[in-house]
Amino acid sequence: MKGLQAVTAIGGVALVVVGAAMALTNPGQNTYEEYAAERLTGYLQQNVCPQAPRFLGNSLESQCRSLIDSHQTEIKQLISQGTRRDNFLIFSIYKTDLSVKRILPIFPDNVLPAYNFQTVGVFDNFYTYQAQKQ
């Protein structure tokens, strides 16, 4: 009986320690926005810029990369405006809706794509578990 009580007590203390560590390392909104901007920038530079059209015999890929690098503030702002954080103390879930329509509202809905991302933040890390084109 005492052995069972000891195991239960040790398990309870371990659970409290892990919970406290998770709460202390639950990343905040600003950290998420940095992460999301970095991921979005990398995606655009690796997947979108290489498809830039050629103009007068020159590829616009380097101009595309430069444009993305010079607009980091706007990218972070777009992410910030489209993100909702659900804070569960020991972890957070971030739901981000990215739509160019937010910054270019004159275009019809079906012209510009929109994306939805869901990411969990835990132990100072982020794990995107859902990415959907809408």
pLDDT tens digits, 78-92: 899 999 999 999 999
Q: Of 66, 81, 96, at which residue does a domain stop?
A: 81
73 belongs to a structural domain: yes
Is residue 11, in this structure, part of any structural domain at all? no
Number of independent structural domains in the chain: 2
Position 99 in a domain? yes
State mean pLDDT over 38-67: 80
* Mean pLDDT on 124-128: 95
The set of long-range contacts for 35-44, using a CB threshold of 8 Å and a minimum separation of 24, is 35/119, 35/126, 36/79, 36/83, 36/94, 36/96, 36/117, 36/119, 37/72, 37/75, 37/76, 37/79, 39/128, 40/75, 40/79, 40/98, 41/68, 41/69, 41/72, 41/75, 44/68
Q: Is 13 exposed, middle or buried (0-12, 13-18, 19+ CB in 10 A)?
A: exposed
| Cα distances (angstroms) measured from residue 2 to each of 6, 8, 15, 16, 33 | 6, 10, 20, 21, 50
Return mean pLDDT, the chain.
85
- Please tell me the pTM assigned to this model: 0.81
On whether both 73 and 96 belong to a single domain, the answer is no
pLDDT for res 74: 87
Q: Domain check: are 88 and 118 in the same one?
A: yes
Q: Is residue 17 part of a domain?
A: no
pLDDT band at 117 (very low <50, low <70, confident <90, very high): very high
Percent of the chain with pLDDT over 70: 87
pLDDT at 19 over 80: yes
Among candidate residues 27, 3, 23, 8, the one with its CA nearest the CA of residue 85: 27
**The pLDDT of residue 18:** 85
Cβ atoms of 83 and 29 within 8 Å: the answer is: yes
For residue 122, the tally of other CB atoms under 10 A from its CB is 16
